[in-house]
Amino acid sequence: MQNKNVLLAVSGGIAAYKACALTSKLTQQGANVKVMMTKSAVEFVSPLTFQALSRNPVFTDTFDEKDAKKIAHIDLADWADILIIAPATANIIGKIANGIADDMITTTILATKANVYIAPAMNVNMYEHPAVMKNMQTLSDIGYFFIEPGAGYLACGWIGKGRLEEPSTIIEVINAHQNSPRPLLGKKVLISAGPTRESIDPVRFFTNRSSGKMGYKLAEAALEMGAEVTLVSGPVNLDVPSSSINRIDVVTAEEMYQAMTKEFPSHDIVIKAAAVADYRPIHTYDEKMKKQDGILQIEMERTKDILKTLGEMKTKQFLVGFAAETQNLKKYGLDKLKRKNLDAIVVNNVGQEGAGFEGDTNIATYFNKKLQEYEIPKATKKEVAKEILTLILRDMKDEKA
Protein backbone atom coordinates (compact mmCIF):
# COMPACT_ATOMS: atom_id res chain seq x y z
CA MET A 1 0.00 0.00 0.00
CA GLN A 2 3.02 2.30 0.29
CA ASN A 3 2.36 5.46 -1.78
CA LYS A 4 -0.70 3.91 -3.45
CA ASN A 5 -3.67 6.17 -4.12
CA VAL A 6 -6.57 4.38 -2.45
CA LEU A 7 -10.12 5.60 -2.95
CA LEU A 8 -12.48 4.21 -0.32
CA ALA A 9 -16.21 4.19 -1.09
CA VAL A 10 -18.42 3.85 1.97
CA SER A 11 -22.07 2.95 1.47
CA GLY A 12 -24.91 3.03 3.96
CA GLY A 13 -24.77 0.06 6.30
CA ILE A 14 -24.09 -0.38 9.98
CA ALA A 15 -20.68 -1.80 9.04
CA ALA A 16 -19.67 1.73 7.98
CA TYR A 17 -18.01 2.06 11.39
CA LYS A 18 -15.45 -0.57 10.30
CA ALA A 19 -14.56 1.62 7.34
CA CYS A 20 -13.10 4.08 9.86
CA ALA A 21 -10.63 1.44 11.05
CA LEU A 22 -9.91 0.50 7.44
CA THR A 23 -9.09 4.13 6.62
CA SER A 24 -6.77 4.34 9.60
CA LYS A 25 -4.94 1.09 8.73
CA LEU A 26 -4.53 2.09 5.08
CA THR A 27 -3.04 5.42 6.13
CA GLN A 28 -0.70 3.71 8.58
CA GLN A 29 0.57 1.49 5.76
CA GLY A 30 1.58 4.53 3.74
CA ALA A 31 -1.38 4.78 1.39
CA ASN A 32 -2.82 8.08 0.21
CA VAL A 33 -6.48 7.70 1.15
CA LYS A 34 -9.50 9.64 -0.05
CA VAL A 35 -13.03 8.75 1.03
CA MET A 36 -16.37 8.96 -0.76
CA MET A 37 -19.67 8.42 1.08
CA THR A 38 -23.27 7.88 0.06
CA LYS A 39 -25.96 9.98 1.74
CA SER A 40 -27.03 6.88 3.66
CA ALA A 41 -23.47 6.30 4.90
CA VAL A 42 -23.45 9.81 6.39
CA GLU A 43 -26.35 8.70 8.60
CA PHE A 44 -24.04 6.17 10.28
CA VAL A 45 -20.66 7.96 10.42
CA SER A 46 -19.77 11.63 10.13
CA PRO A 47 -17.63 12.69 7.13
CA LEU A 48 -15.49 14.59 9.64
CA THR A 49 -14.34 11.26 11.10
CA PHE A 50 -12.98 10.10 7.74
CA GLN A 51 -11.47 13.52 7.06
CA ALA A 52 -9.53 13.33 10.32
CA LEU A 53 -8.35 9.76 9.67
CA SER A 54 -7.41 10.25 6.01
CA ARG A 55 -6.22 13.87 6.26
CA ASN A 56 -8.10 14.54 3.02
CA PRO A 57 -11.47 16.07 2.13
CA VAL A 58 -14.41 13.65 2.04
CA PHE A 59 -16.66 13.53 -1.02
CA THR A 60 -20.40 13.09 -0.55
CA ASP A 61 -22.05 15.09 -3.34
CA THR A 62 -21.47 14.80 -7.08
CA PHE A 63 -22.32 18.46 -7.52
CA ASP A 64 -20.05 19.76 -4.76
CA GLU A 65 -17.08 20.69 -6.93
CA LYS A 66 -14.30 21.58 -4.51
CA ASP A 67 -11.99 22.75 -7.30
CA ALA A 68 -13.57 24.67 -10.18
CA LYS A 69 -10.79 23.52 -12.51
CA LYS A 70 -11.68 19.85 -12.08
CA ILE A 71 -14.73 17.61 -12.34
CA ALA A 72 -14.53 15.89 -8.98
CA HIS A 73 -15.70 12.36 -9.82
CA ILE A 74 -13.55 12.20 -12.98
CA ASP A 75 -10.53 13.57 -11.13
CA LEU A 76 -10.96 10.98 -8.36
CA ALA A 77 -11.48 8.19 -10.88
CA ASP A 78 -8.21 9.09 -12.61
CA TRP A 79 -6.35 9.61 -9.33
CA ALA A 80 -7.07 6.19 -7.82
CA ASP A 81 -4.75 3.21 -8.12
CA ILE A 82 -7.11 1.08 -6.03
CA LEU A 83 -10.80 1.58 -5.32
CA ILE A 84 -12.36 -0.22 -2.36
CA ILE A 85 -16.10 -0.37 -1.66
CA ALA A 86 -16.50 -1.18 2.03
CA PRO A 87 -19.08 -1.78 3.18
CA ALA A 88 -20.81 -2.61 -0.10
CA THR A 89 -24.57 -2.84 0.39
CA ALA A 90 -26.97 -4.76 -1.86
CA ASN A 91 -28.12 -1.37 -3.16
CA ILE A 92 -24.70 -0.11 -4.29
CA ILE A 93 -23.82 -3.50 -5.80
CA GLY A 94 -27.08 -3.48 -7.76
CA LYS A 95 -26.53 0.04 -9.03
CA ILE A 96 -23.02 -0.61 -10.29
CA ALA A 97 -23.97 -3.94 -11.86
CA ASN A 98 -26.69 -2.22 -13.87
CA GLY A 99 -24.69 0.85 -14.86
CA ILE A 100 -26.64 3.29 -12.69
CA ALA A 101 -24.70 6.45 -11.87
CA ASP A 102 -26.79 8.70 -9.61
CA ASP A 103 -24.39 9.71 -6.84
CA MET A 104 -20.74 10.43 -6.14
CA ILE A 105 -19.70 6.82 -5.68
CA THR A 106 -21.45 5.28 -8.67
CA THR A 107 -20.38 7.99 -11.11
CA THR A 108 -16.77 7.66 -9.98
CA ILE A 109 -16.76 3.86 -10.16
CA LEU A 110 -18.11 3.86 -13.72
CA ALA A 111 -15.36 6.30 -14.73
CA THR A 112 -12.36 4.65 -13.09
CA LYS A 113 -9.77 2.32 -14.61
CA ALA A 114 -8.42 1.41 -11.18
CA ASN A 115 -8.63 -2.09 -9.68
CA VAL A 116 -11.96 -2.30 -7.85
CA TYR A 117 -12.35 -4.37 -4.68
CA ILE A 118 -15.83 -4.95 -3.24
CA ALA A 119 -16.39 -6.00 0.38
CA PRO A 120 -20.10 -6.80 0.80
CA ALA A 121 -21.94 -6.40 4.10
CA MET A 122 -25.64 -7.13 4.57
CA ASN A 123 -28.18 -9.49 6.10
CA VAL A 124 -27.55 -13.14 5.23
CA ASN A 125 -30.89 -13.46 3.39
CA MET A 126 -30.13 -10.36 1.34
CA TYR A 127 -26.67 -11.69 0.51
CA GLU A 128 -28.11 -14.98 -0.71
CA HIS A 129 -30.97 -13.43 -2.69
CA PRO A 130 -30.77 -14.48 -6.38
CA ALA A 131 -30.83 -10.86 -7.59
CA VAL A 132 -27.88 -9.94 -5.38
CA MET A 133 -25.97 -13.06 -6.37
CA LYS A 134 -26.61 -12.27 -10.05
CA ASN A 135 -25.37 -8.70 -9.61
CA MET A 136 -22.20 -9.88 -7.86
CA GLN A 137 -21.56 -12.37 -10.67
CA THR A 138 -22.00 -9.58 -13.22
CA LEU A 139 -19.40 -7.45 -11.46
CA SER A 140 -17.06 -10.41 -11.05
CA ASP A 141 -17.33 -11.07 -14.80
CA ILE A 142 -16.44 -7.44 -15.46
CA GLY A 143 -13.25 -7.96 -13.49
CA TYR A 144 -14.12 -6.53 -10.08
CA PHE A 145 -12.66 -8.49 -7.17
CA PHE A 146 -14.83 -9.54 -4.22
CA ILE A 147 -13.66 -9.87 -0.65
CA GLU A 148 -16.03 -12.42 0.83
CA PRO A 149 -17.96 -11.38 3.95
CA GLY A 150 -17.49 -13.31 7.14
CA ALA A 151 -20.07 -15.48 8.85
CA GLY A 152 -21.33 -14.92 12.37
CA TYR A 153 -23.70 -12.81 14.44
CA LEU A 154 -25.03 -9.91 12.36
CA ALA A 155 -26.27 -6.53 13.57
CA CYS A 156 -29.82 -7.46 12.53
CA GLY A 157 -29.78 -10.41 14.92
CA TRP A 158 -29.45 -13.11 12.30
CA ILE A 159 -26.49 -15.50 12.27
CA GLY A 160 -24.92 -16.26 8.91
CA LYS A 161 -22.77 -14.92 6.10
CA GLY A 162 -22.88 -11.18 5.54
CA ARG A 163 -20.57 -9.57 8.09
CA LEU A 164 -18.04 -7.13 6.63
CA GLU A 165 -14.60 -8.70 6.68
CA GLU A 166 -12.17 -7.25 9.22
CA PRO A 167 -10.14 -4.24 7.95
CA SER A 168 -6.81 -6.01 8.46
CA THR A 169 -8.04 -8.98 6.41
CA ILE A 170 -9.32 -6.71 3.64
CA ILE A 171 -5.87 -5.16 3.36
CA GLU A 172 -4.17 -8.56 3.43
CA VAL A 173 -6.40 -9.85 0.61
CA ILE A 174 -5.79 -6.77 -1.52
CA ASN A 175 -2.03 -6.89 -0.92
CA ALA A 176 -1.95 -10.56 -1.92
CA HIS A 177 -3.97 -9.87 -5.07
CA GLN A 178 -1.88 -6.83 -6.03
CA ASN A 179 1.33 -8.78 -5.57
CA SER A 180 0.20 -11.91 -7.41
CA PRO A 181 2.44 -12.69 -10.40
CA ARG A 182 1.20 -11.50 -13.80
CA PRO A 183 3.84 -12.91 -16.14
CA LEU A 184 1.76 -12.31 -19.28
CA LEU A 185 1.37 -8.59 -18.62
CA GLY A 186 1.91 -6.73 -21.90
CA LYS A 187 1.33 -9.85 -24.01
CA LYS A 188 -1.55 -10.33 -26.45
CA VAL A 189 -2.93 -13.86 -26.51
CA LEU A 190 -5.22 -15.26 -29.22
CA ILE A 191 -7.14 -18.46 -28.42
CA SER A 192 -9.64 -20.48 -30.46
CA ALA A 193 -12.16 -22.69 -28.70
CA GLY A 194 -15.09 -24.99 -29.29
CA PRO A 195 -16.36 -26.85 -32.35
CA THR A 196 -17.48 -25.63 -35.76
CA ARG A 197 -20.72 -26.50 -37.52
CA GLU A 198 -20.93 -27.33 -41.22
CA SER A 199 -24.50 -27.16 -42.55
CA ILE A 200 -26.22 -29.75 -44.70
CA ASP A 201 -29.60 -28.00 -44.76
CA PRO A 202 -31.46 -25.54 -42.48
CA VAL A 203 -32.01 -28.35 -39.94
CA ARG A 204 -28.90 -30.54 -40.01
CA PHE A 205 -25.19 -29.97 -39.66
CA PHE A 206 -21.92 -31.83 -39.03
CA THR A 207 -20.05 -31.00 -35.82
CA ASN A 208 -17.97 -32.69 -33.09
CA ARG A 209 -18.00 -33.26 -29.34
CA SER A 210 -15.90 -30.25 -28.34
CA SER A 211 -17.47 -28.27 -25.50
CA GLY A 212 -15.01 -25.35 -25.65
CA LYS A 213 -14.21 -25.71 -21.94
CA MET A 214 -10.43 -26.08 -22.42
CA GLY A 215 -10.17 -23.03 -24.65
CA TYR A 216 -12.31 -20.93 -22.31
CA LYS A 217 -10.19 -21.93 -19.31
CA LEU A 218 -7.07 -20.98 -21.27
CA ALA A 219 -8.60 -17.57 -21.94
CA GLU A 220 -9.53 -17.15 -18.26
CA ALA A 221 -6.08 -18.18 -17.04
CA ALA A 222 -4.30 -15.96 -19.58
CA LEU A 223 -6.37 -12.97 -18.46
CA GLU A 224 -5.55 -13.64 -14.79
CA MET A 225 -1.86 -13.81 -15.73
CA GLY A 226 -2.08 -10.30 -17.16
CA ALA A 227 -2.58 -10.90 -20.88
CA GLU A 228 -4.83 -9.04 -23.27
CA VAL A 229 -6.99 -11.90 -24.55
CA THR A 230 -8.96 -12.46 -27.74
CA LEU A 231 -11.13 -15.58 -27.84
CA VAL A 232 -12.44 -16.88 -31.17
CA SER A 233 -15.27 -19.19 -30.20
CA GLY A 234 -17.33 -21.71 -32.07
CA PRO A 235 -20.93 -22.36 -30.94
CA VAL A 236 -20.78 -23.39 -27.26
CA ASN A 237 -22.98 -23.17 -24.18
CA LEU A 238 -20.44 -21.18 -22.19
CA ASP A 239 -20.29 -17.62 -20.96
CA VAL A 240 -17.12 -15.67 -21.58
CA PRO A 241 -15.12 -15.66 -18.31
CA SER A 242 -14.85 -11.86 -18.25
CA SER A 243 -16.04 -8.91 -20.32
CA SER A 244 -12.36 -7.94 -20.48
CA ILE A 245 -11.90 -10.79 -22.97
CA ASN A 246 -12.55 -9.87 -26.59
CA ARG A 247 -14.85 -12.68 -27.77
CA ILE A 248 -15.41 -13.25 -31.48
CA ASP A 249 -18.21 -15.69 -32.25
CA VAL A 250 -18.02 -17.89 -35.34
CA VAL A 251 -19.91 -20.94 -36.57
CA THR A 252 -18.19 -22.52 -39.56
CA ALA A 253 -14.60 -23.53 -40.24
CA GLU A 254 -14.38 -20.81 -42.88
CA GLU A 255 -15.52 -18.16 -40.38
CA MET A 256 -12.95 -19.37 -37.87
CA TYR A 257 -10.27 -19.31 -40.57
CA GLN A 258 -11.11 -15.69 -41.43
CA ALA A 259 -11.17 -14.58 -37.77
CA MET A 260 -7.94 -16.33 -36.81
CA THR A 261 -5.93 -15.17 -39.82
CA LYS A 262 -7.18 -11.60 -39.31
CA GLU A 263 -6.24 -11.50 -35.61
CA PHE A 264 -3.02 -13.52 -35.87
CA PRO A 265 -0.52 -10.78 -36.91
CA SER A 266 -1.22 -8.56 -33.89
CA HIS A 267 -0.78 -11.25 -31.21
CA ASP A 268 2.24 -12.62 -29.36
CA ILE A 269 0.90 -16.05 -28.33
CA VAL A 270 -1.64 -17.99 -30.38
CA ILE A 271 -3.26 -21.17 -29.07
CA LYS A 272 -5.54 -23.11 -31.37
CA ALA A 273 -7.61 -25.22 -28.98
CA ALA A 274 -10.70 -25.34 -31.21
CA ALA A 275 -11.81 -28.61 -32.81
CA VAL A 276 -12.37 -27.42 -36.36
CA ALA A 277 -14.16 -29.58 -38.93
CA ASP A 278 -11.73 -31.11 -41.43
CA TYR A 279 -14.51 -31.58 -44.01
CA ARG A 280 -17.73 -29.87 -45.03
CA PRO A 281 -20.52 -30.83 -47.43
CA ILE A 282 -19.86 -29.75 -51.02
CA HIS A 283 -23.55 -29.07 -51.53
CA THR A 284 -25.89 -27.52 -48.99
CA TYR A 285 -29.65 -27.23 -49.32
CA ASP A 286 -31.84 -24.20 -48.75
CA GLU A 287 -34.78 -26.38 -47.78
CA LYS A 288 -34.93 -29.34 -45.41
CA MET A 289 -33.93 -32.61 -47.09
CA LYS A 290 -36.78 -35.08 -46.99
CA LYS A 291 -36.27 -38.65 -45.89
CA GLN A 292 -35.79 -41.10 -48.76
CA ASP A 293 -35.44 -44.84 -49.13
CA GLY A 294 -31.98 -46.33 -49.43
CA ILE A 295 -28.53 -45.04 -48.60
CA LEU A 296 -27.85 -41.31 -48.30
CA GLN A 297 -24.48 -40.17 -49.59
CA ILE A 298 -23.10 -36.72 -48.85
CA GLU A 299 -20.04 -35.63 -50.76
CA MET A 300 -17.51 -33.77 -48.62
CA GLU A 301 -14.60 -31.43 -49.31
CA ARG A 302 -11.64 -30.37 -47.18
CA THR A 303 -11.87 -27.19 -45.17
CA LYS A 304 -8.93 -24.79 -45.00
CA ASP A 305 -6.18 -25.89 -42.62
CA ILE A 306 -6.15 -23.03 -40.12
CA LEU A 307 -3.16 -24.18 -38.09
CA LYS A 308 -1.02 -24.88 -41.16
CA THR A 309 -1.87 -21.42 -42.53
CA LEU A 310 -0.93 -19.77 -39.24
CA GLY A 311 2.35 -21.71 -39.23
CA GLU A 312 3.12 -20.31 -42.66
CA MET A 313 2.16 -16.78 -41.57
CA LYS A 314 4.21 -16.92 -38.37
CA THR A 315 6.80 -14.20 -37.78
CA LYS A 316 7.25 -13.43 -34.07
CA GLN A 317 4.26 -15.39 -32.71
CA PHE A 318 4.56 -18.39 -30.40
CA LEU A 319 2.11 -20.82 -32.02
CA VAL A 320 0.57 -23.71 -30.10
CA GLY A 321 -1.70 -26.42 -31.48
CA PHE A 322 -3.89 -29.06 -29.86
CA ALA A 323 -4.21 -32.66 -30.98
CA ALA A 324 -7.08 -34.79 -29.72
CA GLU A 325 -6.07 -38.39 -30.39
CA THR A 326 -7.14 -41.91 -29.46
CA GLN A 327 -3.89 -43.75 -30.27
CA ASN A 328 -0.20 -43.15 -31.04
CA LEU A 329 -0.31 -39.80 -29.25
CA LYS A 330 3.37 -38.99 -29.44
CA LYS A 331 3.77 -40.04 -33.07
CA TYR A 332 0.79 -38.07 -34.33
CA GLY A 333 1.51 -35.09 -32.09
CA LEU A 334 5.13 -34.69 -33.15
CA ASP A 335 4.17 -35.15 -36.79
CA LYS A 336 1.63 -32.33 -36.50
CA LEU A 337 4.13 -30.15 -34.63
CA LYS A 338 6.63 -30.44 -37.49
CA ARG A 339 4.25 -30.31 -40.47
CA LYS A 340 2.47 -27.19 -39.29
CA ASN A 341 5.52 -25.24 -38.10
CA LEU A 342 4.39 -25.04 -34.48
CA ASP A 343 6.35 -23.96 -31.45
CA ALA A 344 4.51 -26.43 -29.24
CA ILE A 345 1.60 -28.85 -29.25
CA VAL A 346 -0.68 -30.16 -26.52
CA VAL A 347 -1.78 -33.76 -27.08
CA ASN A 348 -4.42 -35.68 -25.18
CA ASN A 349 -6.16 -39.01 -25.45
CA VAL A 350 -9.84 -38.13 -25.63
CA GLY A 351 -10.75 -41.74 -24.97
CA GLN A 352 -9.00 -41.69 -21.60
CA GLU A 353 -11.14 -41.23 -18.52
CA GLY A 354 -10.72 -37.69 -17.21
CA ALA A 355 -9.50 -36.29 -20.54
CA GLY A 356 -12.63 -36.24 -22.71
CA PHE A 357 -14.19 -33.36 -24.59
CA GLU A 358 -17.08 -32.46 -22.32
CA GLY A 359 -15.55 -33.04 -18.87
CA ASP A 360 -14.15 -30.54 -16.39
CA THR A 361 -10.75 -32.26 -16.11
CA ASN A 362 -8.01 -33.01 -18.59
CA ILE A 363 -4.81 -35.04 -18.96
CA ALA A 364 -2.28 -33.87 -21.53
CA THR A 365 1.26 -34.04 -22.84
CA TYR A 366 3.05 -30.88 -23.97
CA PHE A 367 5.74 -31.14 -26.67
CA ASN A 368 7.85 -28.18 -27.79
CA LYS A 369 9.82 -27.84 -31.03
CA LYS A 370 12.97 -29.02 -29.24
CA LEU A 371 11.02 -32.29 -28.80
CA GLN A 372 11.01 -31.87 -25.05
CA GLU A 373 8.09 -33.68 -23.46
CA TYR A 374 6.14 -32.64 -20.35
CA GLU A 375 3.35 -34.67 -18.81
CA ILE A 376 0.42 -32.77 -17.32
CA PRO A 377 -1.40 -35.16 -14.96
CA LYS A 378 -5.14 -35.21 -14.39
CA ALA A 379 -6.34 -31.86 -13.08
CA THR A 380 -9.14 -29.37 -13.64
CA LYS A 381 -9.05 -27.71 -17.03
CA LYS A 382 -8.25 -24.40 -15.32
CA GLU A 383 -5.18 -25.96 -13.66
CA VAL A 384 -4.14 -27.59 -16.93
CA ALA A 385 -4.54 -24.22 -18.67
CA LYS A 386 -2.23 -22.55 -16.14
CA GLU A 387 0.37 -25.29 -16.60
CA ILE A 388 0.24 -24.94 -20.40
CA LEU A 389 0.70 -21.16 -20.19
CA THR A 390 3.58 -21.60 -17.74
CA LEU A 391 5.31 -24.01 -20.16
CA ILE A 392 4.76 -21.57 -23.04
CA LEU A 393 6.33 -18.74 -21.06
CA ARG A 394 9.31 -20.91 -20.17
CA ASP A 395 9.86 -21.88 -23.81
CA MET A 396 9.58 -18.24 -24.91
CA LYS A 397 12.14 -17.26 -22.30
CA ASP A 398 14.48 -20.05 -23.46
CA GLU A 399 14.22 -18.82 -27.04
CA LYS A 400 15.45 -15.37 -26.00
CA ALA A 401 18.27 -16.74 -23.85
Is a pLDDT exceeding 70 seen at residue 157? no
User: pLDDT tens, 223-281?
Assistant: 989 899 999 999 999 988 777 789 999 999 999 999 999 999 999 999 999 999 999 99
User: pLDDT tens, 98-122?
Assistant: 999 999 999 999 999 888 999 999 8
Is residue 20 a contact partner of residue 49, using CB atoms and an 8 Å limit? yes
How many residues are present in the chain? 401
CATH of domain 5-178: 3.40.50.1950
**Domain segments of the chain: what residues?**
5-178, 188-278+300-400
Q: What's the CATH fold of domain 188-278+300-400?
A: Rossmann fold (3.40.50)
Give residue 80's pLDDT band: very low, low, confident or very high (50, 70, 90): very high
Smallest Cα–Cα separation from 366: which of 340, 347, 351?
A: 347
- What local confidence, expressed as pLDDT, does residue 347 receive? 95
**pLDDT average, residue stretch 148-159:** 66
User: pLDDT tens, 378-389?
Assistant: 999 999 999 999
**pLDDT average, residue stretch 90-103:** 94
Is a pLDDT exceeding 70 seen at residue 304? yes
Catalytic residues: 156
Is a pLDDT exceeding 80 seen at residue 137? yes
Start-end of H helices in 29-178: 39-42, 47-54, 72-79, 90-97, 104-111, 124-127, 130-142, 167-178
- What local confidence, expressed as pLDDT, does residue 401 receive? 60
Fold match flag (5-178 vs 188-278+300-400): yes
User: pLDDT tens, 246-260?
Assistant: 999 999 999 999 999
The DSSP code for 294 is: S
Give residue 159's pLDDT band: very low, low, confident or very high (50, 70, 90): low
